């Protein structure tokens, strides 16, 4: 098996190979349902010079390293199976520090299958990626530096579910989930089990909508607690007209996890939706749960060449929940169009990763992104803020990020690109010896791409990183990319 797990043994890691192979074998047996397959085979070769390869302070180490990245993307769209799978193997060899040579696995597999017509379905997800272990350690924004703060993370989700319509009156969905999150070095490996029952109204009631949702989840950590999250929520909504809709939610949740405060209580929320046209949707709501107020914001504004989205939500979460939601490769662009990811490109290592332990926290998250595409140019701007409020050890982790990306076709065979990144990471802890820690990172990238043929491209790129604490890095990269069907 090509995944290298942590050397620690235990009930979770011992069963990981079985959990990995069973869904894959099952998924392959369903491939006969797919009607349209697309395979993209890719190969990337790069050479990079860095003047601070280990992101150290005053004692900088320069090095030259090569990067060989074979990969493939398999996409299948059919009547009963939709599959998106992207995999790459990143082999890194360092000229002066060959002891740091490593191989990184990157994988994103998403499958949705209809097992029995209109009734029985299956969702499957599998990921492998690199991430930082300490949110306040130096970060090179990707997985090529020799910093000791990188590790591999693996996740899977296996979810069969049943649907049944009761004429035009109601629809029932019953879903079972089994998932897992595993770390190669530091972190609490875990398995999750969830059952969800949802009963919602059909079109018979016209403008009136109702639903009843019951959810029960257990999380079993290999060397930690066993958490439980249970809730039942009912909703009643009314479509006022073709632009306005109002929804009210109410229920109760009974949770059991490590906390000095209450973990259960009533749920209520009000939500207003405004849809003035097919291109615009705005949601604004507020509610209350056992941990306090829960405001909600959602904006989706789309034009022919631009998209603007913004969202804010306050909810209960954990490191494992965040990782299960994280995508390694994207198969849709900002406009919702299907794309084939390039497996040889530099994959971002997120700096807003939660500490990989069993703690539960209140997650306050704001995200906003604007994308503009013209005939020759593409421009993207994003802004994000995450505040994790921990209860068990009185610490808060906050990250703010801003990014700008611009690319332009300069001629029939040449294009240029420019990228700017900024992040600020903060830790405020009542129990830490250094109760207020923060780190700011800046990044700049500029490059040119020349198309040699329909399958071959050559890239030259300059990158700069600086964290304001003598861990600045300059790098120059020359690369060749091949892509064939």
Residue range 184-197, pLDDT digits in tens: 999 999 999 999 99
Residue 17: pLDDT band (50, 70, 90) is: very low
Residue extents of the structural domains in the chain: 11-484
Beta carbons of 71 and 344 less than 8 angstroms apart: yes
What was the pLDDT predicted at 391?
80
For residue 19, the model assigns a pLDDT of 47
Alpha-carbon distance of 243 to 246, in angstroms, equals 11
Whether the predicted pLDDT of 409 surpasses 60 = yes
Q: Among 53-62, 91-100, 124-133, 306-315, name the one with the lowest average pLDDT.
A: 53-62
Rounded mean pLDDT of the chain?
Answer: 89
Tens-digit pLDDT profile for residues 112-124 = 999 998 999 999 9
pLDDT for res 60: 83
- Judge whether 26 and 20 are in contact, CB under 8 Å: no
Q: What is the pLDDT of residues 339-366, one digit of tens each?
A: 999 998 888 888 888 889 999 999 999 9
Residues near 15 by Cβ (< 8 Å), separated by ≥ 6? none
Please give the average per-residue pLDDT across 53-63, as a whole number.
Answer: 83
In eight-state DSSP terms, residue 338 is B
Out of 11-20, 83-92, 257-266, pick the least confident: 11-20
Q: What are the tokens at 387?
A: 């505040």
The CATH class for the domain spanning 11-484 reads mainly beta
On the question of pLDDT at 21 being above 70, the answer is no
The residue among 109 and 132 whose pLDDT is bigger is: 109
Global pTM value: 0.89
Q: Is the pLDDT of residue 275 over 50?
A: yes
Distance CA 406, CA 371 (A): 10
Cα–Cα distance, 421 to 465 (Å, whole number)? 9
Q: How far apart are CA 447 and CA 407, in angstroms?
A: 9
pLDDT digit string, tens, across residues 142-159: 899 888 888 999 999 999
- As beta bridge partners, residue 391 has none
Residue 283 and residue 401: Cα distance in Å, rounded? 24
**Nearest partner of 186 among 397, 15, 357, judged by Cα:** 357
pLDDT band at 394 (very low <50, low <70, confident <90, very high): low
Encode 327-360: b = buried (16+ Cβ within 10 Å), e = exposed.
ebbebeebeeeeebbbbbbbbebbbbbbbbbbbb
Whole-number percent of the chain with pLDDT over 90: 73
State the distance between the two ends of the chain, measured CA to CA, in whole angstroms. 26
Strands 306-318 and 102-116: unpaired
- When mean pLDDT is compared across 238-242, 321-325, 394-398, the lowest value belongs to 394-398
366/398 Cα distance (integer angstroms): 12
Contact 214, 253 (CB under 8 A): no
Are the C-beta atoms of residues 120 and 162 closer than 8 Å to each other? yes
Q: In angstroms, rounded to a whole number, what is the distance separating the alpha carbons of residues 270 and 284? A: 9
Task: Assess contact for 52 and 64: CB atoms under 8 A.
Answer: no
Cα 139 to Cα 153: distance, rounded to the nearest angstrom: 17
CB 179 within 8 A of CB 196: no
The yes-or-no verdict on residue 83 having pLDDT over 70 is yes
H or E segment and range at residue 26 = helix 11-29
CA distance 444 to 464: 5
Mean pLDDT of 14-36: 50
């Amino acid at each position: 098996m090509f995944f290298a797990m942590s050397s620690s043994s235990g009930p979770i890691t011992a069963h990981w190979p079985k959990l990995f192979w069973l869904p894959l074998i099952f998924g392959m047996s369903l491939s006969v349902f797919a009607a349209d397959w697309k395979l993209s085979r890719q190969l990337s070769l790069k050479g990079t010079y860095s003047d601070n390869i280990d992101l150290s302070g005053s004692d900088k180490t320069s090095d030259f390293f090569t990067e060989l990245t074979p990969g493939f993307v398999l996409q299948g769209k059919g009547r009963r199976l939709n599959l998106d799978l992207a995999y790459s193997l990143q082999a890194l060899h360092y000229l002066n520090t060959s002891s740091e040579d490593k191989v990184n696995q990157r994988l994103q597999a998403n499958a949705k299958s209809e097992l029995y017509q209109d009734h029985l379905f299956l969702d499957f997800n599998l990921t492998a990626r690199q991430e930082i272990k300490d949110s306040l350690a130096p970060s090179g924004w990707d997985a090529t530096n020799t910093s000791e703060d990188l590790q591999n993370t693996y996740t899977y989700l296996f979810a069969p579910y049943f649907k049944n319509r009761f004429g035009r009156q109601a629809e029932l969905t019953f879903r079972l989930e089994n998932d897992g999150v595993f770390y190669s070095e530091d972190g609490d490996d875990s398995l999750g089990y969830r059952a969800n029952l949802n009963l919602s109204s059909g079109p018979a009631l016209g403008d009136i909508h109702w639903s009843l949702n019951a959810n029960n989840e257990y999380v079993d950590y290999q060397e930690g607690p066993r958490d439980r999250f249970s809730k039942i929520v009912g909703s009643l909504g009314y479509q006022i007209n073709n632009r306005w809709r109002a929804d009210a939610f109410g229920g109760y949740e009974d949770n059991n996890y490590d906390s000095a405060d209450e973990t259960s209580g009533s749920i209520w929320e009000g939500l207003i939706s405004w849809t003035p046209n097919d291109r615009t949707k705005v949601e604004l709501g507020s509610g209350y749960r056992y941990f306090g107020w829960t405001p909600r914001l959602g904006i989706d504004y789309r034009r022919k060449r631009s998209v603007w989205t913004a969202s804010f939500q306050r909810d209960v979460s954990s490191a494992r929940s965040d990782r299960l939601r994280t995508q390694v490769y994207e198969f849709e662009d900002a406009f919702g169009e299907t794309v084939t990811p390039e497996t040889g490109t530099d994959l971002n290592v997120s700096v807003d990763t939660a500490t990989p332990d069993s703690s539960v926290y209140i997650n306050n998250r704001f995200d906003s992104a604007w994308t503009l595409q013209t005939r020759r140019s593409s421009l993207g701007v994003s802004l994000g803020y995450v505040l994790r409020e921990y209860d068990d050890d009185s610490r808060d982790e906050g990250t703010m990020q801003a990014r700008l990306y611009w690319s332009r076709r300069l001629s029939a065979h040449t294009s240029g690109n420019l990228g700017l990144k900024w992040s600020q990471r903060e830790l405020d802890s009542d129990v830490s010896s250094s109760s207020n820690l923060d780190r700011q990172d800046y990044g700049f990238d500029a490059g040119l791409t020349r198309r040699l043929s329909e399958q071959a491209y050559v890239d030259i790129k300059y990158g700069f990183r600086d964290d304001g604490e003598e861990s600045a890095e300059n790098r120059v990269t020359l690369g060749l990319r091949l892509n064939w069907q």
